[in-house]
Amino acid sequence: MYHAIVRGLIRRGFAELNRTKDVAPLVAQFADDAVFAFPGDSRFGGERRGRAAIAAWFAELFANFPDFRLTPLAIVVSGPPWATTVGTRFRADATLPDGTPYRNEGMQFVRLRFGRILEDRIYEDTVKLNDALAQIAAHRAA
């Protein structure tokens, strides 16, 4: 039952973020010393610690992809409330400045303790991401 509740909360969280683009409710779920990691060589790459740094990462995301949307494709939850692990396979969609669609797929690994996010690691195709960021930068320079 607990795992089904967590899956439902994640689906609703994705839908709410897609609808409002307001990251404050999401960021509020992170522990004060949470780790957020996005591996790869891009402006999004690296590890952030704490809510302020995580909020800044999301602000950068929506500054580059204003209509960014996440669709959870599969969510796996394991563990008790004090040591929960969540794996989410997702699809990311947005529209690039020339009107072409951006689509990427990835995986997310999250560790929770009593509903508070301790660690969030996102893995997606960074070649696709860097190609999109190059197009955005070229559009801004024009």
Phi/psi zone of residue 115: left (φ > 0), alpha (ψ -120 to 50 degrees), beta? left
- 92-141, pLDDT tens digit by residue? 999 999 999 999 999 999 999 999 999 999 999 999 999 999 999 999 88
> Could you tell me how far CA 91 lies from the centroid of its own chain?
10
Q: 125 and 131 in contact (C-beta within 8 Å)?
A: no
2-141: CATH class: alpha beta
Q: Is 24 exposed, middle or buried (0-12, 13-18, 19+ CB in 10 A)?
A: exposed
Residue 128 CB coordination number (10 Å): 15
Give the pLDDT confidence of 36-73 residue by residue, as tens digits: 999 988 889 999 999 999 999 999 999 999 999 999 99
